[in-house]
Amino acid sequence: MTHGAAGMPPAACLASRRMLSWISEIAQGIPALISVGDPETLVASLGYLAVFLLVMGDGVIPIFPGETSIVVAAVFAANGDLNIWLVIVAGALGAVAGDSIAFWIGRGGGPWMRHQTGRMVGHERVEVAEHMVHRQGDILVFTQRFITILRLAINIVLGAGTIAYRRYLAIDTVAAFVWAAQGALIGYVSGKLFPGKTWIAVVVALMVAGVLIGIIVLRERRRIVRERRLMNEEGAGS
pLDDT of 122-150, one tens digit each? 666 666 666 676 666 677 788 888 877 77
Q: Into how many domains does the chain fold?
A: 1
Find the domain containing 110 and state its range: 5-237
Identify the band that residue 231 occupies on the pLDDT scale cut at 50, 70 and 90: low
Identify the band that residue 98 occupies on the pLDDT scale cut at 50, 70 and 90: very high
Identify the band that residue 217 occupies on the pLDDT scale cut at 50, 70 and 90: low
Dump strand ranges (E) for the chain.
none
CA atoms within 13 A on the CB side of 192: 8
User: Would you state the pLDDT for residue 215?
Assistant: 75
Identify the band that residue 113 occupies on the pLDDT scale cut at 50, 70 and 90: low
Minimal CA–CA distance to 130: which of 108, 165, 156, 94?
156
If you average pLDDT over residues 156-177, what whole number do you get?
Answer: 88
